[in-house]
Amino acid sequence: MREPPADFADAAFLERHVVETLAFYDGARDPAGGFFHCFRDDGTIYDRHTRHLVSSARFVINYARAAKRYPGKKEFLTRARHGFEFLERAHRQPNGAYAWELDDGAVRDGSIMAYGQAFVVLSAATALSAGIGEARAALDGVWSVLERHFWEEGYGAYRDELDASLTQGSPYRGQNANMHLVEAALGAYDATGDLRFLERAERVAETFCRRLAGDAGGMVWEHYTTTWRPDFGYNRDRPNDLFKPWGYQPGHQFEWSRLLLALEQRRAKPWYVSTAIALYGNGKRIGFDPEYGGVVYGVAPDGAIASGEKYHWVMSEGFAAAWRLFRRTGDQQYRVDYDTLWSFAWRHLVDHRYGAWYRVVTRDGAKIDDLKSPPGKADYHTLGACWDVLEHLS
């Protein structure tokens, strides 16, 4: 393992780490379209056929953000355009929605998931910000699908899943898609200046972080009924589910905290900072592991650990939120938390040989498998967290 940097908040370190992480995916471009999604620790592709909407969109986001931050490296914009064209050609369906999963370009799972559409919104927004002008039409198109078919005005939230025809829906309701739709709406607002995106982000954030959190002990619960009441039993036997895990997710408390501070930057409201502090504090209280370090994945309502594994995205969202809170409040404890989270990640999650981060390790930090980047990962969270800190260093 390499020696840790003298300062995890050093700009040169963070920029170097971003470039090294992106380099792991240099072989991801598929000349036939899009990117390969399935990588072992050493970069070997273990599945050349699967294309998952989340990864397809996240590759576009990663490269569009890189293109904007490093304008001298033209290859990043080329890759962003390459990925965006694949989204439009392969994932986009005639009804304007985007299919969940493809197999050699053919639809394997045509479900229309709000979670996936959220990342299409963000990919189109970041592509537009990077100079890909045709992304504006895609942004408006997918937003229209979400507003017409997923938005539930009476509840101030988006439903989760419809079939390929957009006519039959699942009764499941969840916070995860809504949280990422807030992130996506902020990206869309930044790219266009259109207030409808900011207003929607504000509405959803208030629904989950104020109204619904009041029904769940001051934290954001994952699962809800069709009338948006907390469903504390849903997926009880699946605490490690990739998209719908059971239990309070400390990582999502951190992520919401960061998003509230991002909302405050754009149009401040009195409750944003206090709620961001409370959500982060609750995530830390239930999630910081006093025995092994790091942050556990899931915690039961009674406080017992539901899933003790340490995930890359939880650590990333944790240090990004801690840094934002440090810069916003000046409280040195957040600076200590930032270093603590980075230190665990540096020891256990950063791959110092091949680059990028391991997806997940055991509670005590041991490797679980050699599947570094399965569908859905693409190091989106780790790159995004580093860029977020870089943008708020002073």
Which active-site residues does the annotation give?
Answer: 252, 381
Report the C-alpha gap between 171 and 323 in whole angstroms: 37
- Gap between the Cα atoms of 69 and 66, Å rounded: 5
**Helical spans, DSSP H, in 3-73:** 11-24, 53-69
Give the distance, in angstroms, between the CA of residue 188 and the centroid of all CA atoms in the same chain: 15
First vs last C-alpha separation in the chain = 30
174 in helix, strand or coil?
A: strand
Q: How many H-runs (helices) and E-runs (strands) does the chain carry?
A: 12, 15
Q: Which residue, among 67, 46, 27, 16, has the nearest Cα to 350 in the 3D structure? A: 16
Report yes or no: 262 and 186 within 8 Å, Cβ to Cβ.
Answer: yes
- What's CA 62's distance to the chain center, in Å? 12
